[in-house]
Amino acid sequence: MIEDAAGFLFAASTWLLPALLAITLHEAAHGWVAWQLGDDTAKRLGRVSFNPLRHVDPMGTVVVPGILLLFKAPFLFGWAKPVPVDFWKLPSPRRDMAVVAIAGPGINLIQAYAAMLLFHLLPLFGGLPDAWLAANLENAISINLILCVFNMVPLPPLDGGRVAVGWLPLPLARPLARLEPYGMVILLILLLVVPLAAREFGADWNPLFELITPVVAGLRDILLELSGHSG
């Protein structure tokens, strides 16, 4: 019992900082890019900030991931408070909204690469701190790559959906944009309902994970090569 509790606390401590950084910088990047493009809404509301408390959604950032971690779920899922962006304050609304959207996954990609580079410093430490730091860095790589790829799925309100709406020709962008009110419902069906239904028929099938897993793995391989960890 004590060993289980200690193991859970160790695991939780190695996820806390990577998750907070991944979520905080993701949301702050949206607000900062919108501000640079002319919309100061997020800036005025204090959302261009490194303070995670300004971005944390109690249920989506703490409770749901904590329950999944506690019950050793095969995946972690959560969300932060969305950064407010005034579409009409942007000089070129469709194009600029796509740029604002891609900033979040972009900063996650940068964080994953930075964590890989920091692995080169681990020989400076030793013993338990080394193991704890290594676990933090490994989790930072995983959570940032998953957030990057997951958020680029072309379904509003995910960032990838907004990028697609901004870059696709209008005849394709308009019907995709109309899906935004139903996007979270569609995601939850794909993430939870479809896998549970498939399990009832004896199949282990999660369509969303099958879509993003090879992309995450490919990005990891590219960043490992670029950060000097190949071979």
What are the E-state strand segments in 53-186? none
Contact 37, 100 (CB under 8 A): yes
Q: Does the annotation mark 138 as catalytic?
A: no
Closest CA to 17 of 132, 152, 150, 159: 132
Question: Which is the catalytic residue, given 3, 27, 138, 210?
Answer: 27
> What span, in angstroms and rounded, lies between the C-alpha atoms of 26 and 202?
37
Report CA torsion sign: 156, 162, 168, 173.
positive
Given the structure tokens 């942007």, which residue do they identify? Answer: 90
One-letter identity of residue 128:
L
Show which residues are catalytic.
27
